[in-house]
């Protein structure tokens, strides 16, 4: 159900789990809003706390399920990317 998306592949989905810190979302909010409108998708913010733990993986998996997310994107670096890989599995 959850896929790791690359580049334009995200636009084939409707609900996208965005794994990132709220500060990162603020920095690119206008671009995210433009993307939602242009491609008729919805980003589901995860409120990622910065720790890659089993509890966080379970929480984010539930967020994805509860919001019917078809896709998972890690916005940021290292930990976000690692966590995105775990969530997709």
- Sign of torsion over alpha carbons 45, 26, 33, 20: negative
- Name the pLDDT band for 3 (thresholds 50, 70, 90): very low
Question: Residue range 47-60: average pLDDT?
Answer: 84
Residue 12 is part of which domain span?
3-88
State the pTM of this model.
0.74
CB–CB of 69/62 below 8 Å? no
CATH number, domain at 48?
Answer: 3.40.50.1970
Q: Total domain count for the chain?
A: 1
Q: Taking CA 79 as the corner, what is the angle to CA 75 and CA 80, rounded to the nearest 5 degrees? A: 25
């Amino acid at each position: 159900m959850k896929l790791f998306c690359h580049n334009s592949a995200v636009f084939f989905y409707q609900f996208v789990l965005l794994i990132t810190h709220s500060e990162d979302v603020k920095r690119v909010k206008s671009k995210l809003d433009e993307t939602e409108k242009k491609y008729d998708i919805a980003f589901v913010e995860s409120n990622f706390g910065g720790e890659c733990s089993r509890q966080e993986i379970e929480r984010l998996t539930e967020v994805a399920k509860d919001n019917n997310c078809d896709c998972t994107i890690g916005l940021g670096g290292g930990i976000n990317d690692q966590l995105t890989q775990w969530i997709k599995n």
